[in-house]
A and B are shown apart, each in its own frame.
Chain A
Amino acid sequence: MRLLPLALTLLVAIVLGLGTTLFMVTHSRGLDVVEAGPWRGWPRSGTVKADPYARAAVARSGELPLELADGLLFLAATDDTGQPIDGRCETRIIGVLPQARLWTLTVMDEDGRFIPNDAERYGLTSAEALYKADGKLDVRLAPRARPGNWLPTGARGRLKVALRLYDAPFSFASGAGDAATVLPHIVQEACP
């Protein structure tokens, strides 16, 4: 092969290969995804069985993933219909949570930073939450204070919600189908 086409081929290959690597480590947290409605979980990324994509993503971001024996993280960036969670709307997280010793719900911006607010209220824990008479949870994410379980959104355009279940008795040996069915719904209302 002649020199210039060869150089071009190599250039295309390197750009393509490293480009997909950059895309994967910034957009993916591993191949082993468990999906439950809008929620995504990566149970094996907190174990020695973590796949190469999970290891690469963790090394790049500097995160210490939750060890599976400790807890399990679920992230949601969209509502049930697939629309991105908009901090200017009133977003409700409604439903029943899986069995766990405790859970926490945290609101973050697109880059994973907490939403600044005077009360330093970045999330909700199972100890603080108020439950409805039927035992269901109803959390409202809104720019302005709401009665009940309210979390401030700072009117950010895009939000991410993290649900962490600690000491949860799941078994992921046979997939997370059972755990998946009981994660709460995310519904957006009153968008401006």
Chain B
Amino acid sequence: MSLFDTFTVRVPRPRAVKRRLGGWFGRQMARVNWLWPAGLLLPAAMALVLAGIAHIVSILAMPALAENNAFARLSEIVGSNDMKLLPDPTPNDAVLPMQDPAFISAVCLYDLNDKPLKVRVPATANYTSVSFYTDEGLAFYALSDQAAGKVIELDLMNADQKAALPEDEEITAADRLVIESPSEEGIVLVRAHVPDRGMREVVRRQLEAATCTSAN
């Protein structure tokens, strides 16, 4: 008996398992030395590594695969390149989760494949903002009335359309605010603050004048 043998625990293979289960399954199970930790070390390490890979891949794939994201929810009530007011969120019914009840919102789903998008939002008497999201819900630009003035006017383009803009000084001087969208499709969210409940209808009517149109 060598020194090595004294430190090696010999665990008998659980033949009882084999007998009880029988057949192919039992034979397979009996081949694993369940009580010997070293035998489980490799499968456990493999499981952890594969679990990590599955986790990372599923997290990264989630924005592309999610079927009930904001773009899909809004597609049910708004057409392409058209601005529409959202119904006020209530306890039982909200188009999008986590909306601020102190705001009136309007949305426009854009598609830049044919032409750029022109967004025109007259500022209400209160805080008014325009935010841009990709079709995966990633926020890429926002502007409030304080930065833009009485009427918020923007041109939204994809990279090609922006590159094709004439580098004419007169046109660039004409106060055109051009924003580049990282995606062909996305969401324009217009929000106007309602300081107190009595103002809702007034703000709603003001926001009805907001437009988004597909045009050069």
> A residues bordering B, Cβ < 8 Å?
1-5, 8-10, 12-14, 16-18, 20-21, 24-25, 46-48, 50, 52-53, 55-56, 58-71, 73, 101-102, 104, 106, 112-116, 120, 122-123, 125, 127-128, 162, 164, 166-167
Contact B137 A16 (CB under 8 A): no
Contact A21 B63 (CB under 8 A): no
Determine chain A's interface SS by DSSP, over half rule: mixed
- Name the residue of chain A whose CB is nearest to the CB of B65: A59
Which chain A positions have C-beta within 8 A of B82?
Answer: none
Contact B62 A25 (CB under 8 A): yes
**Which of B69, B101, B197 has the most chain A CB atoms inside 10 A of its CB?**
B101
Say which residue of B50, B59, B139, B141 sits within 8 Å of A64 (CB atoms): B139
What is the CA–CA distance of A2 and B31 in the complex, to the nearest angstrom? Answer: 9
Smallest beta-carbon distance B13→chain A, Å: 14
Contact A9 B101 (CB under 8 A): no
Q: Contacts A14-B54, A127-B195, A128-B195 known; A63 to B62 CB distance under 8 Å?
A: no
Contact A9 B102 (CB under 8 A): no
Q: A5-B28, A16-B51 are in contact. List 4 more A-B contacts (CB 8 A).
A: A8-B43, A63-B137, A69-B144, A116-B92
What is the CA–CA distance of A125 and B197 in the complex, to the nearest angstrom? Answer: 10
Interface size on B, residues (CB 8 A): 63
Contact A50 B138 (CB under 8 A): yes
Contact A166 B127 (CB under 8 A): yes
**Which of B32, B70, B138 has the most chain A CB atoms inside 10 A of its CB?**
B138
Q: Contacts A62-B69, A64-B189 known; A55 to B63 CB distance under 8 Å?
A: yes
Contact B51 A67 (CB under 8 A): no
What is the CA–CA distance of A176 and B108 in the complex, to the nearest angstrom? Answer: 32
- Name the residue of chain B whose CB is nearest to the CB of A117: B91
What is the CA–CA distance of A71 and B94 in the complex, to the nearest angstrom? Answer: 21
Q: Contacts A3-B28, A21-B62, A167-B127 known; A64 to B47 CB distance under 8 Å?
A: no
Smallest beta-carbon distance A166→chain B, Å: 6
Smallest beta-carbon distance A111→chain B, Å: 9
Contact B137 A55 (CB under 8 A): yes
Q: List 5 A-B contacts (CB under 8 A).
A: A5-B32, A58-B138, A66-B139, A113-B94, A115-B91
What is the CA–CA distance of A113 and B29 in the complex, to the nearest angstrom? Answer: 49
Contact B54 A114 (CB under 8 A): no
Smallest beta-carbon distance B132→chain A, Å: 8
What is the CA–CA distance of A38 and B44 in the complex, to the nearest angstrom? Answer: 38
Tell me if B136 counts as interface (CB < 8 A to partner A).
yes
Say which residue of A17, A52, A55, A127 sits within 8 Å of B50 (CB atoms): A17
Tell me if B58 counts as interface (CB < 8 A to partner A).
yes
